């Protein structure tokens, strides 16, 4: 008699355990469990609508949250990109680099060009190589400056990305150009972000801002039309690359203004270029002092760029 009671007890406990597991997995309705009345009531199947532990609506909501997390808007510098026109200016291009582009794939979306691999920079010490130095991640365009050993030769990797303005062949006549940036103090490298003539004729002038070695401060320059280098206009910004800055070139007929973080640092009125020009984010090796050290490595970060046309 005692043995039979023990067998019934063990079977009842086993069925109770199964019932609890079924109830947890299938989210069945709550069942009042009694000791010996357990076998029948605990195995009642849950209604079909409660069969899933995670209902379809919850799955959809979870997927939505994941997508939003993956596609969230980055604002690494604390200052968002401009989104609308300004008085007298029409926004024609803006990029705040929300999409990730891995090293080796930059420029494939047709919004950007870059100087091609193997061409040399201004000093001749750097080699433009988009596949080994340009990427986007975390809401920034990353220009990676470093040296690679190729065929027994040290190659100092530099780059010059160029935004492609919709509806124009290459550049435009006059405009407003804004860029938010910072950089590591990488020895041997510099910026010379410039407006360059679409004709590629230096005699048509050149506008540079910011220009300077990454280990120091930067300035703004206007190299005037058909004049000597001694006639150029120069304006010192007295700022380094280590913190986020917003640099703006405002190029209009007979006048060029330079703004840094909302403050004007200079205005040029002589020899202002008057032919179509395109914007080049030219990041290269220094012009004096020799090539960079082989172990020099660092990054220039660009949070966003914006281009405006007149009207």
Question: Over the chain, what HEC string results?
Answer: CHHHHHHHHHHHHHHHHHHHHHHHHHCCCCCCCCCCCHHHHCCCCCCHHHCCCCCHHHHHHHHHHHHHHHCCCCCCCCCCCCCCCECCEEEEEEECCCCCECCCCCCCCCCEEECCCCCECCCCCEEECHHHCEEEECCEEEEEEEEEEECCEEEEEEECEEECCCCCCCCECCEEEEEEEEECCCCCEEEEEEEEECCCCHHHCEEEEEEEECCCEEEEEEECCCCCHHHCEEEEEEEECCCCEEEEEEEECCEEEEEECCEEEEEECCCCCCCCEEEECCEEECCCCCCCCCCCCEEEEEEEEEEEEEC
- How many other C-beta atoms lie within 10 A of the C-beta of residue 283? 27
Entry pTM? 0.76
Residue 32's pLDDT band (boundaries 50, 70, 90)? very low
Q: Provide CATH 2.60.120.200 ranges for the chain.
A: 89-310
- Percentage of the chain modeled with pLDDT above 70: 75
Residue 22 has pLDDT above 80, yes or no: no
Residue 185 has pLDDT above 70, yes or no: yes
pLDDT score, position 286:
98
Q: Identify the residue with better confidence: 68 or 169.
A: 169
Mean pLDDT on 14-18:
43
pLDDT digits (tens, 9 = 90+) for 279-296: 999 999 999 999 999 999
pLDDT score, position 226:
72
Q: Which residues pair with 157 in a beta bridge?
A: 127, 146
Q: How many Å apart are CA 202 and CA 24, to the nearest integer? A: 76
Torsion over CA: 58, 59, 64, 65 (sign): positive
Residue 43 has pLDDT above 60, yes or no: no
> Which of 156, 154, 146, 153 lies closest to 126, judged by CA?
156
Residue 273's pLDDT band (boundaries 50, 70, 90)? very high
pLDDT score, position 231:
75
Q: Are 197 and 280 contacting, i.e. CB atoms less than 8 angstroms apart?
A: no
pLDDT digits (tens, 9 = 90+) for 209-260: 999 999 999 999 999 987 665 678 999 999 999 999 999 999 999 999 999 9
> Which of 278, 282, 279, 241 lies closest to 128, judged by CA?
282
Mean pLDDT on 111-140:
97
CATH classification for the domain delimited by 89-310, as one of 2.60.40.60, 2.60.120.200, 3.30.2010.10, 2.40.110.10? 2.60.120.200
Residue 117 has pLDDT above 80, yes or no: yes
- Percentage of the chain modeled with pLDDT above 90: 70
CA-CA-CA-CA dihedral for 233, 199, 92, 142, to nearest 10 = -70
Q: How many Å apart are CA 46 and CA 19, to the nearest integer? A: 11
Residue 107's pLDDT band (boundaries 50, 70, 90)? confident
pLDDT score, position 40:
40
Place of tokens 């006059």: 174
Query: What phi and psi values does residue 199 have, to the nearest 5 degrees?
Result: -75, -10
Mean pLDDT on 299-310:
98
Q: Are 207 and 273 contacting, i.e. CB atoms less than 8 angstroms apart?
A: yes
Q: How many Å apart are CA 291 and CA 286, to the nearest integer? A: 7
């Amino acid at each position: 008699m005692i043995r039979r009671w023990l067998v019934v007890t063990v079977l009842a406990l086993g069925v109770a355990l199964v019932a609890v597991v079924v109830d947890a997995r299938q989210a069945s309705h709550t069942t009042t469990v009694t000791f010996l009345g357990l076998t029948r009531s605990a195995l009642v199947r849950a209604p079909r609508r409660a069969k899933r532990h995670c209902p379809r609506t919850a799955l959809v909501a979870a997927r939505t949250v994941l997508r939003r997390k993956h596609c969230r808007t980055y604002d690494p510098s604390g200052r968002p990109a401009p989104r609308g026109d300004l008085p007298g200016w029409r926004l024609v291009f803006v990029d705040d680099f929300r999409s990730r582009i891995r090293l080796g794939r930059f420029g494939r979306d047709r919004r950007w060009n870059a100087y091609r691999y193997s061409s040399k920079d201004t000093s001749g010490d750097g080699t433009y190589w988009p596949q080994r130095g340009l990427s986007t991640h975390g809401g920034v365009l990353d220009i990676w400056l470093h040296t690679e050993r190729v065929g027994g030769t040290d190659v100092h990797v530099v780059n010059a990305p160029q935004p492609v303005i919709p509806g124009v062949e290459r550049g435009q006549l006059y405009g407003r150009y804004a860029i938010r940036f910072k950089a590591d103090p990488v020895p041997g490298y510099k910026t010379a972000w410039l407006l360059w003539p679409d004709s590629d004729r230096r005699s048509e002038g050149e506008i540079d801002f910011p220009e300077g070695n990454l280990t120091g401060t930067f300035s703004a320059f206007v190299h005037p039309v058909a004049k000597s280098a001694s006639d150029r206009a120069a304006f010192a910004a007295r700022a380094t690359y280590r913190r986020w800055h917003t640099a703006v070139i405002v190029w209009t007929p007979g006048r060029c203004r330079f703004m840094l973080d909302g403050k004007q640092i200079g205005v040029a009125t002589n020899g202002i270029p008057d032919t179509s020009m395109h914007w080049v984010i030219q990041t290269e090796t220094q012009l004096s002092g020799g090539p960079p050290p082989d172990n020099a490595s660092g990054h220039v970060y660009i949070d966003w760029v914006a281009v405006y046309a007149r009207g």
